[in-house]
Copies of this chain bind each other. A is one copy, B any other.
Protein backbone atom coordinates (compact mmCIF):
# COMPACT_ATOMS: atom_id res chain seq x y z
CA UNK A 1 0.00 0.00 0.00
CA UNK A 2 2.74 2.41 1.00
CA UNK A 3 4.59 1.54 -2.17
CA UNK A 4 1.63 2.42 -4.39
CA UNK A 5 1.15 5.76 -2.62
CA UNK A 6 4.84 6.39 -3.19
CA UNK A 7 4.48 5.73 -6.90
CA UNK A 8 1.52 8.09 -7.28
CA UNK A 9 3.36 10.74 -5.24
CA UNK A 10 6.48 10.34 -7.32
CA UNK A 11 4.53 10.80 -10.59
CA UNK A 12 2.70 13.86 -9.24
CA UNK A 13 5.89 15.38 -7.88
CA UNK A 14 7.70 14.93 -11.20
CA UNK A 15 4.75 16.23 -13.23
CA UNK A 16 4.40 19.23 -10.96
CA UNK A 17 8.10 20.09 -11.20
CA UNK A 18 8.24 19.73 -14.99
CA UNK A 19 5.03 21.63 -15.74
CA UNK A 20 6.20 24.43 -13.45
CA UNK A 21 9.50 24.60 -15.32
CA UNK A 22 8.31 24.07 -18.90
CA UNK A 23 4.58 24.69 -19.00
CA UNK A 24 1.80 22.33 -20.03
CA UNK A 25 2.51 21.77 -23.70
CA UNK A 26 6.26 21.32 -23.43
CA UNK A 27 5.86 18.58 -20.83
CA UNK A 28 5.22 15.17 -22.34
CA UNK A 29 4.00 12.03 -20.58
CA UNK A 30 7.12 10.20 -21.73
CA UNK A 31 9.32 12.74 -19.98
CA UNK A 32 7.27 12.37 -16.78
CA UNK A 33 7.61 8.59 -16.97
CA UNK A 34 11.35 8.81 -17.61
CA UNK A 35 12.15 11.35 -14.90
CA UNK A 36 9.92 9.80 -12.25
CA UNK A 37 11.36 6.34 -12.93
CA UNK A 38 7.84 4.90 -12.71
CA UNK A 39 6.46 2.45 -15.26
CA UNK A 40 4.04 3.75 -17.91
CA UNK A 41 1.40 1.37 -16.58
CA UNK A 42 1.36 3.10 -13.17
CA UNK A 43 0.80 6.47 -14.77
CA UNK A 44 -2.29 5.24 -16.60
CA UNK A 45 -3.42 3.30 -13.53
CA UNK A 46 -3.40 6.36 -11.26
CA UNK A 47 -4.33 8.88 -13.96
CA UNK A 48 -6.62 7.05 -16.40
CA UNK A 49 -7.53 10.35 -18.14
CA UNK A 50 -3.86 10.97 -18.90
CA UNK A 51 -1.97 14.24 -18.92
CA UNK A 52 -4.97 16.51 -18.30
CA UNK A 53 -5.91 14.68 -15.10
CA UNK A 54 -2.31 14.43 -13.96
CA UNK A 55 -1.71 18.17 -14.45
CA UNK A 56 -5.03 18.99 -12.77
CA UNK A 57 -3.98 17.01 -9.68
CA UNK A 58 -0.50 18.53 -9.79
CA UNK A 59 -2.19 21.97 -9.85
CA UNK A 60 -4.28 21.10 -6.76
CA UNK A 61 -1.07 20.17 -5.00
CA UNK A 62 0.79 23.30 -6.14
CA UNK A 63 -2.19 25.47 -5.10
CA UNK A 64 -2.17 23.92 -1.64
CA UNK A 65 1.56 24.65 -1.31
CA UNK A 66 1.02 28.27 -2.39
CA UNK A 67 -1.96 28.59 -0.03
CA UNK A 68 0.22 27.54 2.89
CA UNK A 69 2.98 30.01 1.91
CA UNK A 70 0.44 32.80 1.52
CA UNK A 71 -1.14 31.89 4.86
CA UNK A 72 2.29 31.99 6.58
CA UNK A 73 3.04 35.36 5.05
CA UNK A 74 -0.33 36.88 5.97
CA UNK A 75 -0.30 35.44 9.50
CA UNK A 76 3.16 36.85 10.15
CA UNK A 77 1.77 40.42 10.06
CA UNK A 78 -1.10 42.02 11.95
CA UNK A 79 -1.27 44.83 9.45
CA UNK A 80 -2.33 44.09 5.87
CA UNK A 81 0.06 46.78 4.58
CA UNK A 82 3.04 45.13 6.28
CA UNK A 83 1.97 41.82 4.75
CA UNK A 84 1.85 43.34 1.26
CA UNK A 85 5.19 45.04 1.81
CA UNK A 86 6.58 41.63 2.67
CA UNK A 87 4.91 40.01 -0.36
CA UNK A 88 6.54 42.50 -2.72
CA UNK A 89 9.90 42.11 -0.99
CA UNK A 90 9.57 38.40 -1.79
CA UNK A 91 8.93 39.17 -5.48
CA UNK A 92 11.78 41.67 -5.57
CA UNK A 93 14.14 38.93 -4.48
CA UNK A 94 12.85 36.05 -6.60
CA UNK A 95 15.43 34.65 -9.02
CA UNK A 96 13.71 35.32 -12.34
CA UNK A 97 16.40 33.39 -14.16
CA UNK A 98 15.84 30.22 -12.13
CA UNK A 99 13.69 27.81 -14.06
CA UNK A 100 11.97 26.57 -10.93
CA UNK A 101 10.74 30.02 -9.93
CA UNK A 102 8.81 32.35 -12.18
CA UNK A 103 5.06 32.40 -12.54
CA UNK A 104 3.93 28.94 -13.59
CA UNK A 105 0.30 29.47 -12.65
CA UNK A 106 -0.09 32.31 -15.18
CA UNK A 107 1.64 30.28 -17.88
CA UNK A 108 -0.45 27.15 -17.32
CA UNK A 109 -3.61 29.28 -17.07
CA UNK A 110 -2.98 30.86 -20.47
CA UNK A 111 -1.85 27.67 -22.15
CA UNK A 112 -4.90 25.71 -21.11
CA UNK A 113 -7.79 28.22 -20.76
CA UNK A 114 -9.22 27.34 -24.17
CA UNK A 115 -8.27 23.68 -24.39
CA UNK A 116 -8.90 22.14 -20.96
CA UNK A 117 -11.95 23.02 -18.90
CA UNK A 118 -10.61 21.01 -15.92
CA UNK A 119 -7.30 22.83 -15.77
CA UNK A 120 -8.89 26.21 -16.49
CA UNK A 121 -11.16 25.75 -13.48
CA UNK A 122 -8.25 24.61 -11.30
CA UNK A 123 -6.36 27.81 -12.27
CA UNK A 124 -9.40 30.04 -11.78
CA UNK A 125 -10.07 28.53 -8.35
CA UNK A 126 -6.44 29.00 -7.34
CA UNK A 127 -6.57 32.71 -8.25
CA UNK A 128 -9.93 33.14 -6.51
CA UNK A 129 -8.51 31.52 -3.38
CA UNK A 130 -5.39 33.73 -3.23
CA UNK A 131 -7.38 36.92 -3.92
CA UNK A 132 -9.93 36.06 -1.23
CA UNK A 133 -7.17 35.31 1.31
CA UNK A 134 -5.71 38.76 0.70
CA UNK A 135 -9.16 40.37 0.76
CA UNK A 136 -9.91 38.75 4.13
CA UNK A 137 -6.71 40.29 5.47
CA UNK A 138 -7.91 43.72 4.31
CA UNK A 139 -11.27 43.11 5.98
CA UNK A 140 -9.49 42.08 9.18
CA UNK A 141 -7.76 45.48 8.92
CA UNK A 142 -11.13 47.25 8.88
CA UNK A 143 -11.58 47.65 5.12
CA UNK A 144 -15.16 47.29 3.85
CA UNK A 145 -15.70 44.00 2.02
CA UNK A 146 -16.18 45.42 -1.50
CA UNK A 147 -13.14 47.70 -1.33
CA UNK A 148 -11.11 44.77 0.07
CA UNK A 149 -12.18 42.47 -2.77
CA UNK A 150 -11.51 45.08 -5.43
CA UNK A 151 -8.08 46.13 -4.25
CA UNK A 152 -7.02 42.49 -3.78
CA UNK A 153 -7.96 41.66 -7.33
CA UNK A 154 -6.06 44.76 -8.52
CA UNK A 155 -2.95 43.82 -6.51
CA UNK A 156 -2.98 40.30 -7.98
CA UNK A 157 -3.34 41.67 -11.52
CA UNK A 158 -0.39 43.99 -10.89
CA UNK A 159 1.69 41.07 -9.59
CA UNK A 160 0.81 38.91 -12.60
CA UNK A 161 1.47 41.69 -15.10
CA UNK A 162 4.78 42.54 -13.53
CA UNK A 163 5.69 38.87 -13.41
CA UNK A 164 5.47 38.86 -17.20
CA UNK A 165 7.53 42.07 -17.36
CA UNK A 166 10.15 40.59 -14.98
CA UNK A 167 10.43 37.46 -17.12
CA UNK A 168 10.80 39.27 -20.44
CA UNK A 169 13.34 41.67 -18.90
CA UNK A 170 15.01 38.90 -16.84
CA UNK A 171 15.05 41.44 -14.04
CA UNK A 172 13.24 42.16 -10.78
CA UNK A 173 13.10 45.90 -11.46
CA UNK A 174 9.43 45.79 -12.52
CA UNK A 175 8.50 44.54 -9.03
CA UNK A 176 10.33 47.45 -7.36
CA UNK A 177 8.27 50.03 -9.22
CA UNK A 178 5.11 47.97 -8.69
CA UNK A 179 5.82 47.82 -4.95
CA UNK A 180 5.93 51.62 -4.73
CA UNK A 181 2.82 51.97 -6.89
CA UNK A 182 0.75 49.44 -4.91
CA UNK A 183 1.61 51.17 -1.63
CA UNK A 184 0.49 54.48 -3.11
CA UNK A 185 -2.78 52.97 -4.40
CA UNK A 186 -3.52 51.49 -0.96
CA UNK A 187 -2.82 54.80 0.82
CA UNK A 188 -5.04 56.74 -1.58
CA UNK A 189 -7.84 54.24 -1.08
CA UNK A 190 -7.44 54.41 2.68
CA UNK A 191 -7.84 58.19 2.53
CA UNK A 192 -10.91 57.87 0.32
CA UNK A 193 -12.43 55.30 2.69
CA UNK A 194 -11.50 57.55 5.59
CA UNK A 195 -9.41 54.79 7.14
CA UNK A 196 -6.95 57.25 8.58
CA UNK A 197 -6.00 54.90 11.37
CA UNK A 198 -3.19 52.64 10.21
CA UNK A 199 -5.04 49.55 8.99
CA UNK A 200 -4.81 46.54 11.24
CA UNK A 201 -4.01 48.66 14.26
CA UNK A 202 -7.26 47.78 15.99
Please report A residues at the B interface, Cβ cutoff 8 Å.
22-23, 25-26, 97, 99, 102-103, 106-107, 109-111, 113-114, 120, 123-124, 127, 150, 153-154, 156-162, 164-165, 167-170, 174, 177-178, 181, 185, 188
Identical copies of this chain, number: 2
**Judging by beta carbons under 8 Å apart, are B153 and A123 in contact?**
no
Q: Provide the residues of chain B in CB contact with A169, threshold 8 Å.
A: 124
Q: Would you list the 6 A-B pairs with minimal beta carbon distance, nearest first?
A: A157-B161, A160-B161, A25-B25, A161-B161, A113-B167, A124-B168
Given A153-B177, A165-B127, A188-B188: A103 touches B110 (CB 8 Å cut-off): yes
Q: Provide the residues of chain B in CB contact with A150, threshold 8 Å.
A: 177, 181
Q: Provide the residues of chain B in CB contact with A106, threshold 8 Å.
A: 106, 110, 164
State how many angstroms separate the Cβ of A124 from the closest Cβ of chain B: 4
Q: Which single residue of chain B is at the shortest CB-CB distance from A110?
A: B107
State how many angstroms separate the Cβ of A155 from the closest Cβ of chain B: 9
Overall SS of chain A's interface: helix
Q: Provide the residues of chain B in CB contact with A174, threshold 8 Å.
A: 153, 157
Partner of A168, one of B97, B103, B120, B167: B120
State how many angstroms separate the Cβ of A183 from the closest Cβ of chain B: 12
Q: Which single residue of chain B is at the shortest CB-CB distance from A188?
A: B188
**Judging by beta carbons under 8 Å apart, are A181 and B154 in contact?**
yes
State how many angstroms separate the Cβ of A128 from the closest Cβ of chain B: 9
State how many angstroms separate the Cβ of A126 from the closest Cβ of chain B: 9
State how many angstroms separate the Cβ of A116 from the closest Cβ of chain B: 11
Q: Which single residue of chain B is at the shortest CB-CB distance from A117?
A: B170
Per the bound structure, the CA–CA distance linking A40 and B162 in Å amounts to 39
Q: Provide the residues of chain B in CB contact with A99, threshold 8 Å.
A: 114
17 contacts between A and B (CB under 8 A): A23-B110, A23-B111, A26-B111, A107-B111, A113-B168, A150-B177, A150-B181, A154-B178, A154-B181, A156-B165, A157-B158, A157-B160, A157-B162, A157-B174, A158-B158, A159-B161, A188-B188
